[in-house]
Structure 1
Amino acid sequence: MTASAPTKIVVTGPFGAGKTTFVSTLSQDPVVSTERAVSDSTVAVKTSTTVAMDHGGLHVTPPPGARWEAHRVGLFGTPGQQRFSFMWTMLARDMDGYVVLVDASRSESVAQARDIVAAFADLAPYVPRLVLVSRWADPAGTRAELAAALGTPVQSLMPCDPRDLADATAALHVLLDGVQTLSGRKKQQTP
């Protein structure tokens, strides 16, 4: 990762999982959002939804021991509703890493997140990812079960409150470590 090339991070997950909140929490730039009023039964969960994308950006400084340098990160939040899934492919293009947010307190969120994890794994099988879990009542007791339900390795799960700057920043740092590790491998393999 260099200062000249911003790192592209996609923030995805089911409807109501906290994607817009995560982007807004981290972004140092004004967030461009395409939130619109909900027009179906999902109004019971929340009153608005992203219909195209959320976009924000920030300058990140590495914590001690990180393998990456300070640089710009662009955050691209996807719509969570299946009817807007065509945006996933567009936003995933040239991404360096992605997070899947899931609300563990809602079983439908977990089921939808499983489909999104699978879709993004197909779109970008070698791109680093984290599955960020909010409202996770018992991370220690349910880690393996939740990983199995989401179809993802246990080590990719991380508790995260998307409203909390410290949580969101810690998650971003973990993901950027993965991006740097992959970037280093690519450089070693280049003749």
Structure 2
Amino acid sequence: MVIVGTTTHLRYQSTLQGKCPYCDLNNSNLELQLYCDYTHLTLIPLFPVKRHGSIHCTACNAPIAYEELSQDCKTTVDAIAHQKRLFPIWTFTGSLVILLSLSIFIKNWYVKSHTDYPLEQLQKGDVVFYETENGYYSSFKILERKGPTFKVVHNTYIQNTFFDLEDLNEPSNYSKQKETLTLSDLNTMETKGYIEGIEKSKLNSF
């Protein structure tokens, strides 16, 4: 069962010294409590919605409005409220999970939409973007093809994310040393999920 609701969390409390306007005790203890309301999905916090607080006298337990405090107490409360104005990071947990899931979905969509081109049809000038076994990202360009065998040059640059891989595709970034890959090698890379995308050559030349 999925339950969506709002929960109030006591995030801070402190005792102030001041005069209670109800029991009229000088230097009585006034307890300040600061709360944070956040929306949750079952037990997972999604995002915070508001901050609020309360003050009460520990002697008579009467709630005290901010306007009823002395100026010194107001100054202290204002300083604490300013210091605690930011929402706790954990109240964004659900939103961060959703954002991460969305990023993974976009990546999978990107990979699928860019690798629908069959590897069997790769030709001279095509660029293959891939993930290395160490978790980095780079590319190689096909110089020539003879049957199931490809002569390629690897990009000398790598990056640690799969975003904007196309920015690596500059002619000056590629090594001059040729290497040989087979169609079987490429199929193995695709099976392992290493191929991130394919950019077809417009001019069919390096």
Which one scores higher on RCO, CA 8 angstroms, separation ≥ 6? 1
Structure 1 or 2: larger helix share? 1
Q: Which has the larger radius of gyration?
A: 2
Structure 1 or 2: larger strand share? 2
Q: TM-score, normalising length from structure 2?
A: 0.22
Q: TM-score, normalising length from structure 1?
A: 0.23
